[in-house]
């Protein structure tokens, strides 16, 4: 791999296009007549576009880098990591439901993901500290739990601010008055 010098340190450079490994082609499928419009461009709501995001749904590089994926099998931390993933999903859903008007944006979600990992590591270190009688591990666990709490509070605040800043749907006052007159919900 080629190397370049920068600030007196060697850094690898990206390989040239002809040095890249061959890609794996996706399975071919026949296009449907409804996939393209009259000018040959993709039609709105075509089946190819609908299928496009399904392959990568929930598989972001960032989530993998946050440690929410890919832990070695048999690791002592594996059950804590599984709990962190469940906690993250539940917390984001709860924020969306209670604070975010149905949406928990990417920034609050990122804070919750960090909080979930901090909480998982806190519990792991706390259990190790109890088993080994190690006060330093107990202190580290306490600091991680506090950092998790701070991230959760920040995520809650940001989610609320994002919800308040989002445009609201216009209220149809005539339809509302008709529902009230008929004894329906407000």
| Domain limits, the chain | 78-158
CB-based contacts of 138, cutoff 8 Å, min separation 6: 125, 126, 129, 130
Per-residue pLDDT of the chain (186 residues), as tens digits, is 556 666 777 766 766 667 766 766 666 666 666 677 777 777 776 666 666 655 555 555 555 555 555 677 788 998 999 899 899 999 999 999 999 988 899 999 999 999 999 999 999 999 999 999 999 999 999 999 999 999 999 999 999 999 998 887 777 778 878 888 887 665
Tell me the pTM: 0.59
Question: Strand, helix or coil at 110?
Answer: helix
Provide the 8-state DSSP code for 57.
T
């Amino acid at each position: 791999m080629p190397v370049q010098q920068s600030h007196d340190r060697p850094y690898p450079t990206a390989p040239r296009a002809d040095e890249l490994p061959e890609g794996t082609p996706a399975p071919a499928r026949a296009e449907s007549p409804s996939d393209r419009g009259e000018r040959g461009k993709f039609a709105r709501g075509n089946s190819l576009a609908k299928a496009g995001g399904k392959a990568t749904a929930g598989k972001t590089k960032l989530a993998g880098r946050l440690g929410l994926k890919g832990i070695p099998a048999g690791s002592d931390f594996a059950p804590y990591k599984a709990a962190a993933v469940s906690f993250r999903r539940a917390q984001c859903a709860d924020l969306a439901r209670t604070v975010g008007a149905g949406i928990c944006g990417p920034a609050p979600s990122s804070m919750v993901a960090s909080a979930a990992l901090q909480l998982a590591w806190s519990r792991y270190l706390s259990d190790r500290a109890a088993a080994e009688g190690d006060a330093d591990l107990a202190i580290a666990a306490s600091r991680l739990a506090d950092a998790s709490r701070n991230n959760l509070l920040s995520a809650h605040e940001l989610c609320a601010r994002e919800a308040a800043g989002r445009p609201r749907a216009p209220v149809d006052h005539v339809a509302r008055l008709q529902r009230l007159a008929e004894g329906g919900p407000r």
